[in-house]
Amino acid sequence: MAKAGAFDFDGQPKLFGHPVGLFILFFTELWERFSFFGMRGILVLFLVAQTTGNNPGFGWDNQEALALYGWYTMLAYLAAIPGGLWAGRRLGQRRSVLAGGLLLCLGYGLLVVDTVAAFYAGLAFIILGVGCLKPNITGMVGALYPAGDDQRDIGFTIFYIGINAGAFLSTLAIGWVAVRIDWHLGFGLAGLGMVAGQLVYIFGQRYLRGVGERPEPESPGRVGALFSKLFSHRTPFFVVALFALGALVLVSAGKPGFGIIAAFLGLLAGLAITLYQESGPLERDRLLAVFFTLILVAAFWGAFEQAGGLMNLYAQQKTDRMLAGFELPAPWFQSLNPLYIMIFGTPVGLAWLWWKKQGREVSSLFKIALGTIVLGLGFFFMAGAAAEFEAKGESAMYWLVLAYLLVTLGELFASPVALSFITKLSPARYSSLALSFYFAAVGLGHKLAGALGEAAQHIGDFTIFTGIAAGCILVGILTLLLLAPLKRMAHGADGLPGSHFEEQEGFELADQPEAEEEWATKKKGL
C-alpha cells in the first residue's frame, strides 16, 4: 500500500488545527454518503410502487424487491475487495477515490432515466464506484497525520460526523422528493450530491498531494503464493471442489446467482484452510477466533440491514405515519439511525471508558456479543409492531422509533470494533486477505438480510422479526459463554495498537496490519 511519506505534514495549511485535506475528504464523504443512503432509502419503495399514477415505479412485489436489494447491497460490499486490492497494488488510493466518484456520478445519472436497462446499468456503475471509493478514502484520512499525532483520532471523529450527517440529511431530502414528487428526481438528487462531492474532491487535490499516491509496482507477494498453494494441499482443494460441485448443481437448477455465491464461498473456505495450514501455533489460535468473529459479523449485518429492506417496506405499507395531520414519508425513518449515532456515539464511548476504569470486561468480543444482543432486542419491537398490525390492520410508528434506537445502540457497541479486532488477530503478512474475509462476511450478511426479508413474505413479519430477535440474542449469549476460550485463542490481540480506521458502518478499511508490524518490531528492539 502507498505510504504517506511524500506528504508534507508541517507545510500543509491548517483549518481548526487540522490539515485542510481532512475537510476535503470530509465533504467528499458527506456527499457520497448523502447519495448512497438516500438511494438506499428509496430503492425498494421505488421497486414496489405501482406502475400507474402520478409517480409510477416498477410494480414489483415485495419478494422481488427484497431479493434485488440483497444482491445489490451484497455486491457493493464485495466490490470493495478488488477495489481495495487494486488501489493498494496499482492505482493508489487517491486516484481510486477519483475513479470511484466518477463511476458513482454516472451510475446515479443513469437511474434518472426511466428505463429498465438504464436502471440496471446504473446499479452496476454504483456498485463499481462504491468498490473503488469506500475502501480507500478512509485510509487517506489517516495518512494526513504523522504517526503518534494525537490529532489523528479527533480527525477521524470529524470525518465520521460527515458520514452520519450525510446519511441523516439524505433520507430526509431525497426521501421527500422521491415519494412526494418523482422517484427519478430522487435518484437525480442523489446524483447531484455525488457531483458536489466529486467537485470538492477534484478542486481539493492540491491539499492531498502525497496522500494515497500510486504505489511502486510489486510482485503478487504472499497472498499470490497462498493462492498457488490452494491447489497443492489436499484438504483445501477438496473443499473448493465440493463447493464447485454444489455451484454447478445450483446453476443447472436455474439459480446461477447462488451458484456464483457457492463458488465464491468455496474459494474463501479453501483460502482460509490454506492460511491456517501455513500458520504457526499462535497464529492458528488467532485465526480460529477470526473465523468465529466473521460468523458473528455476517449474522449481525444479516439482522441490521433489515433497515433498508423489510423495515423500510413495513414503514411504507403497514405503519400509521400520520403526525399532527401530516403523513411522514416512509424513507424518513431511515434517518433515525444516523441521528441516533450522532446523539449517542459519544455517550456510548464514554460509557465504555467508565466501564473499563471499573476493571470490568471491555474486550472486543464482549462488545460485539453485547451489541448483537441489543440489536436482537430491537427486533422484539418490530415483532410488537407486526402483532399490532395483525390485530388492527396498521401499527403505530413508535414501534419503529424504538426498534431503530436499539438497533443503532447495538451497532455502536459492535461495529466500531469488529474490523479492528479482525485485523489485530490476522497475520500481518496477509492483511489484504483478512480485509477480503471481512468484506465478504459483511456482504454475505447483506444477502442474508435480503433472504430473510423474502422469507417474511411467506411466513409473516411477526415470525421473521421474532426469529431475528431470538437468533441474535442466542448468538450473543453463545459468544459470551465462549468468551474465555476465545480470548485465550486471541493471545492478547486486544492489546495491540488500536486501528485508526474503526468503522461506524462496517465499511472502512484499516491500516492495522502495518501498525502491528511496527509494534512488533519495536518490541523486539530491532
CB neighbour burial string for 253-283, b if at least 16 within 10 angstroms, e if fewer: eeeeebbebbbbbbbbbbbbbbbbebbeeeb
φ, ψ of residue 323 to 5 degrees: the values are -140, 110
pLDDT of residue 518: 39
Instruction: Judge contact between 93 and 42, C-beta under 8 A.
Output: no
Q: How many residues does the chain have?
A: 526
> Which 8-state DSSP code applies to residue 323?
E
Element counts in the chain: helices (H) and strands (E): 19, 6
DSSP characters over 335-361 = GHHHHHHHHHHHHHHHHHHHHHHTT--
* Predicted pLDDT at 212: 77
Cα dihedral across residues 362, 368, 373, 378: positive or negative: positive
The rounded Cα 460 to chain-centroid distance in angstroms is: 27
What does the pLDDT read at residue 14? 77
pLDDT for the residue 502: 44
Cβ burial 456-470 (10 Å sphere, 16+ → b, else e): bbeeebbebbbbbbe
Which parts of the chain have pLDDT scores under 70?
Answer: 1-11, 147-150, 153, 216-228, 432, 495-526
pLDDT digits (tens, 9 = 90+) for 124-173: 999 999 989 888 887 788 778 876 666 776 777 788 887 888 899 999 99
Q: Convert 14-36 to b/e letters by CB count within 10 Å (16 or more is b).
A: eeeebbbbbbbbbbbbbbbbbbb
CA dihedral 501, 502, 506, 510 (to 10 degrees): 40
Phi and psi, residue 317, nearest 5°: -100, -25
- What grid cell was written down for 68? 434485488
Question: Residue 405: left (phi > 0), alpha (psi -120 to 50), or beta?
Answer: alpha
Domains and CATH numbers, the chain: 13-218 (1.20.1250.20), 293-509 (1.20.1250.20)
- Distance between CA 132 and CA 150 in Å, rounded? 29
Please tell me what DSSP assigns to residue 329: P
Instruction: Please choose, from the candidates 140, 173, 178, 175, the residue with its C-alpha nearest in 3D space to the C-alpha of residue 159.
Output: 140
DSSP state of 495: G
Full DSSP string of 209-258? TTSSPPPPP---HHHHHHHHHHTTSHHHHHHHHHHHHHHHHHHHTT-HHH
Distances (CA, A) of 432 to 214, 282, 423: 17, 20, 9
pLDDT tens digits along 307-321: 999 999 999 999 999
- At residue 492, the pLDDT reads 83
The C-alpha atoms of residue 526 and residue 519 are separated, in whole angstroms, by: 11
Half-sphere exposure of 521 (CA within 13 A, CB side): 8
Residue 253, φ and ψ in degrees, nearest 5: -85, 5
What per-residue confidence (pLDDT) applies to 410?
A: 95
Rounded CA gap, 43 and 70, in Å? 11
Give, in order, the Cα–Cα distances in Å from 306 to each of 80, 260, 312: 21, 23, 8
Residue 326 phi, psi (nearest 5): -120, 130
Residues ≥6 apart with Cβ < 8 Å to 66: 44, 309, 310, 313, 450, 453, 454, 457
CB atoms within 10 A of CB 311: 26
Residue 11 pLDDT: 64
Q: How far apart are CA 155 and CA 502, in angstroms?
A: 13
Cα–Cα dist 106/449, whole Å = 27
Cβ–Cβ contacts within 10 Å for residue 56, how many? Answer: 15
Q: Is 92 left (phi over 0), alpha (psi -120 to 50) or beta?
A: left
Q: What grid cell was written down for 347? A: 455517550
